[in-house]
Amino acid sequence: MGYAELRELQTALTTASDLASTLQQAPTGHDAARLVDVLRRALSVADALGAETGPTGCAEHPHGAVDPLYGDPEDPLPPGYGKCLLCNDRRRRADAHHPHPHLRPRRPHLKLHGRPRQTA
């Protein structure tokens, strides 16, 4: 569960508490309906607390796409990469802009022996 879900749960519970504490007598049909709606929202968010993180195992993209290279023995993912295609794509893009020094392709060194030839 992420920060947004936790805030939503807290807000729903606070709203339900506020609505219940303002009741002086038996609630009207409208007041009861508002209280039930807020409590249902809180219950829905609370139900999500126990849910698994989804197929990606990612807290940020729990129901995103799974990287097709995940678990591929012939083309394994680099260390630190998980199942989430969105996070792995972000890592790939970052690596493309800031390649690791040991992964940079080497340029052949130009060696000049003596003087360059002069053409006549």
pLDDT score at 108: 56
**Mean pLDDT of the region 68-76:** 86
* Mean pLDDT of all residues belonging to the chain: 79
Question: Given a cut of 90, is residue 86 above it in pLDDT?
Answer: yes
From 46, 49, 21, 53, select the one nearest 35 (Cα to Cα).
21
**Residue bearing the bigger pLDDT, 104 or 96:** 96
Percent of all residues in the chain with a pLDDT value above 90, rounded to a whole number = 15
Phi, psi of 5 (to 5 degrees): -65, -40
Q: Which two tokens stand for residue 100?
A: 């690791």
**Cβ 67 vs Cβ 91: under 8 Å:** no
**Residue bearing the bigger pLDDT, 36 or 113:** 36
pLDDT score at 56: 81
